[in-house]
Amino acid sequence: MKQLIEYLAKSLVEHPEQVQVTVQKNNDNLVLELKVANEDLGRIIGQKGQTVKAIRQLLTAAATKTKTKVSLIVQE
């Protein structure tokens, strides 16, 4: 899951070296926190949140294979 988010985020941003993904595990739940440069935040969120919504949908689809619950938090 972490590699998927890193790949997607690095593909979208201008400063891929500043992409950081941290994983926290609670029972069957995974919480992924994504940090990017301030000027790249708009690229990750997208217009009306469409880009981050698409990333979350891909993450959910990948998580169903392993039967885990996943959430993505974008940090400023």
Q: Is the Cβ–Cβ distance between 30 and 23 less than 8 Å? A: yes
Q: Report the pLDDT value the prediction gives residue 28, as an integer from 0 to 100.
A: 77
Element housing 72 (H / E): strand 69-75
Instruction: Count the residues in the chain.
Output: 76
- Number of structural domains (the chain) is 1
CATH number at residue 15: 3.30.300.20
Structure tokens at 14: 């201008």
Q: Report the pLDDT value the prediction gives residue 33, as an integer from 0 to 100.
A: 96
Full DSSP string of 51-62: HHHHHHHHHHHH
Owning domain of residue 58: 2-75
Q: State pLDDT tens for residues 15-73.
A: 999 999 999 998 878 999 999 999 999 999 999 999 999 999 999 999 998 888 999 99
